[in-house]
Amino acid sequence: MSMRKTWLAIPVALLWGMVCFAQPSSTEHARSLAPFVPSPQPIVERMLAAADLKPGETLFDLGCGDGRVLITAARKFGAKAVGVELSPKLVEAANEQIKSMRLEDQVKVIQGDLMEADLSSADVVTIYLLTHSNDKIRPNLEKYLKRGARVVSHDFQVRGWKPIRVDKLEVYHRTHSIYVYEMPVER
Ligand SMILES: C[S@@+](CC[C@H](N)C(=O)[O-])C[C@H]1O[C@@H](n2cnc3c(N)ncnc32)[C@H](O)[C@@H]1O
């Protein structure tokens, strides 16, 4: 190989490596109900306040990403928090944060498919998925959640359910919607 080709091969190989690292595996891809887009911190706090999350209650964040909802639920609201996340890299990132804040007794992250989660212990469930993903998880929420449990969805409604509260909030030049539902849900 000429000197010029060798010099070209190095950045191409590095770029390819970065692309591969950022890609979800094919199993993750098949099960994915939404890409990772973190909720801005003011939205996280409003979601939990709108759900009236109380100290000692249990919150589930379905698709917990980097764990910000779980950490806020534990630190600011005194709740126990469980996250379910498909991506092993995001689970690792969330666990690092949880450990560095010494929240291991209060916060747990399960690496897996949120469609398989047992939600019967949840008082509050938070979601930031997509409308068609909400259609898919709705039967599980109806099956598992106890009377009085709240579901809070960032930006995407749960079709067929009537919210008890809708908040609109402008953060970083975009209006976000927060939908709150209470079980059993009025239709
Ligand atoms: C829009 S992000 C929301 C992250 C976090 N809840 C927040 O509000 O900042 C959606 C997350 O759901 C995860 N996800 C998508 N499908 C999933 C599935 N089937 N099981 C578990 N996690 C999933 C994605 O990897 C991503 O981290």
Tracing tokens 């849900």 back to the chain, one arrives at: 185
CA of 183 to the centre of ligand 1 (A): 23
Pocket of ligand 1, candidates 59, 86, 171: which has the most ligand atoms within 8 Å of its Cβ, to mutate?
86
Burial class of residue 16 (count of CB atoms within 10 Å of its CB; 0-12, 13-18, 19+): exposed
pLDDT tens, position by position, 144-185: 999 999 999 999 999 999 999 999 999 999 999 999 999 998
Model's pTM, two decimal places? 0.89
Kindly list the structural domains of the chain, giving each domain's residue range(s) and its CATH number in brackets, ordered by start: 31-182 (3.40.50.150)
Structure tokens at 32: 């994915």
CA-to-CA dists, residue 142 to 9, 76, 149, angstroms: 54, 28, 10
Select from 25, 31, 33, 171 the residue to mutate for testing ligand 1; criterion: most ligand atoms less than 8 Å from CB. Answer: 33
| pLDDT tens per residue across span 66-105 | 999 999 999 999 999 999 999 999 999 999 999 999 999 9
Look at phi and psi of residue 84 and say left if phi exceeds 0, alpha if psi is from -120 to 50, else beta.
Answer: beta
C-alpha 80/C-alpha 48 separation (Å) is 13
